[in-house]
């Protein structure tokens, strides 16, 4: 009888829906919803040093971690630096990624196909390189000794007379550290925008571009009046996507800070702060880290929604009115 009921459920409309959505829902539940709920729960406990038995059931001061976090942000100078670094890093890298990706896509779209493919592949290299290898590359490049590539070039050109610790030198902070952060992450990030924008540009009917040329458009006018308006929704998508991933990225940054290439606090973003607080020996303060992570999710959600609102996502979802 059980088999019979299962069968009638699977052949019903709801059964079909459940069947096809189940894999995705399962993955989202296991890898996103459950951790999120766990994380929020942990943020309400005083969990530290992974002493689960001792702290995990203690809900006597549920908002304690949030008070601590607020106090740190407002009173601790280093945590203040983390907040500013996060804002500057996310903002600047977002601009670099979206504008850079757009420029690359336009350039590769307008150039001859055989050069275009080569050029696009070139820009994908950073993304294909393992994170540690890629970070190491820039570690050597920006290294503060006279053997650092940038230093050795500038020294031999006579621009500087002694080696510079670009990301650590007090005189260059905070911008020294920020520039390296933006540069290293931007170089990986632009390829995403480039790929999306390039394929979007390629899907514009060829005749529309021809028509614009015949109508008298120069390349600049073509870009401004036809190409960019045609890929507006892709720009919205990439902006939101990059914003959210920049808020949560920390892999490259972690390595560069760890290796001492950039300043510990002017080089730490909120996501890295969460990681360090939870997992490094100095802190191991999982409750506080969970609170910080929860705040980050909330901020990401709000910023994402605001961006969609500003860029008119609703308009995109309205069904066309069709032929009249």
Asked if 214 interacts with other proteins (CB under 8 A), we say: yes
Binds other proteins (CB under 8 A): choice among 9, 225, 259, 279:
225
Asked if 318 interacts with other proteins (CB under 8 A), we say: no
Asked if 319 interacts with other proteins (CB under 8 A), we say: no
Cα–Cα dist 52/269, whole Å: 27
Cα–Cα dist 307/287, whole Å: 30
Tokens matching residue 110: 């307008």
Binds other proteins (CB under 8 A): choice among 103, 213, 284, 300:
213
Q: How far is CA 6 from CA 22, 252, 314, in A?
A: 15, 49, 39
Q: How far is CA 107 from CA 155, 194, 287, 313, 316, in A?
A: 34, 10, 48, 27, 26
Cβ nearer to other proteins, comparing 170 with 323: 323
Q: How far is the CB of 221 from other proteins (least distance, A)?
A: 6
The helix/strand count (H/E) of the chain reads as 18, 0
How buried is 73 (Cβ within 10 angstroms: 0-12 exposed, 13-18 middle, 19+ buried)?
middle
With CA atoms as reference, report the closest residue to 264 among 133, 150, 167, 192. 167
Asked if 111 interacts with other proteins (CB under 8 A), we say: no
Token match 């303060």: residue? 285
Binds other proteins (CB under 8 A): choice among 229, 259, 301, 309:
229
Binds other proteins (CB under 8 A): choice among 145, 218, 305, 310:
218
Binds other proteins (CB under 8 A): choice among 226, 283, 297, 303:
226
Asked if 320 interacts with other proteins (CB under 8 A), we say: yes
Tokens matching residue 245: 């991933």
Tokens matching residue 153: 């070039």
Asked if 317 interacts with other proteins (CB under 8 A), we say: no
With CA atoms as reference, report the closest residue to 244 among 94, 72, 60, 27. 94
Asked if 230 interacts with other proteins (CB under 8 A), we say: yes
Stretch that binds other proteins, among 2-10, 14-22, 84-92, 205-213 (CB under 8 A): 205-213
Stretch that binds other proteins, among 24-32, 45-53, 221-229, 237-245 (CB under 8 A): 221-229
Cβ nearer to other proteins, comparing 78 with 215: 215
Binds other proteins (CB under 8 A): choice among 107, 136, 173, 217:
217
Residues in contact with other proteins by CB under 8 A are: 205, 207-208, 210-218, 221, 225-226, 229-230, 232, 320-324
């Amino acid at each position: 009888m059980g088999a019979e009921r299962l069968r009638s459920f699977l052949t019903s409309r709801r059964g079909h829906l459940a069947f096809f959505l189940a894999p995705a829902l399962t993955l989202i539940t296991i890898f996103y919803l459950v951790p999120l709920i766990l994380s929020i729960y942990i943020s309400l406990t005083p969990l530290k040093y992974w002493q689960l038995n001792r702290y995990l059931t203690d809900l006597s001061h549920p908002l304690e971690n949030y008070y601590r976090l607020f106090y740190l942000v407002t009173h601790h100078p280093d945590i203040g630096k983390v907040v500013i670094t996060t804002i500057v890093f996310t903002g600047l890298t977002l601009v670099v990624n979206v504008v850079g990706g757009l420029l690359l896509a336009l350039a590769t779209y307008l150039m001859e196909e055989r050069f275009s493919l080569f050029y696009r592949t070139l820009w994908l290299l950073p993304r294909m390189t393992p994170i540690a290898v890629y970070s190491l590359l820039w570690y050597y490049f920006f290294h503060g000794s006279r053997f650092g590539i940038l230093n050795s070039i500038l020294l031999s050109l006579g621009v500087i007379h002694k080696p510079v610790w670009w990301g650590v030198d007090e005189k260059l902070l905070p911008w020294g550290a920020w520039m390296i952060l933006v540069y290293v992450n931007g170089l990986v990030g632009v390829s995403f925008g480039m790929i999306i924008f390039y394929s979007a540009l390629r899907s514009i009917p060829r005749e529309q571009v021809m028509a614009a040329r015949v109508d008298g458009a120069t390349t600049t006018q073509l870009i401004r009046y036809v190409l960019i308006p045609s890929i507006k929704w892709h720009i919205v998508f990439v902006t939101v996507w990059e914003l959210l991933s920049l808020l949560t990225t920390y892999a490259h940054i972690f390595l560069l800070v760890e290796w001492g290439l950039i300043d510990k606090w002017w080089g730490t973003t909120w996501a890295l702060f969460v990681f360090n607080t939870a997992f490094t020996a100095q802190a191991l303060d999982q409750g506080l880290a969970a609170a910080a992570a929860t705040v980050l999710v909330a901020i990401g959600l709000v910023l994402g929604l605001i961006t969609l609102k500003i860029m008119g996502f609703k308009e995109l979802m309205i069904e066309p009115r069709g032929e009249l």
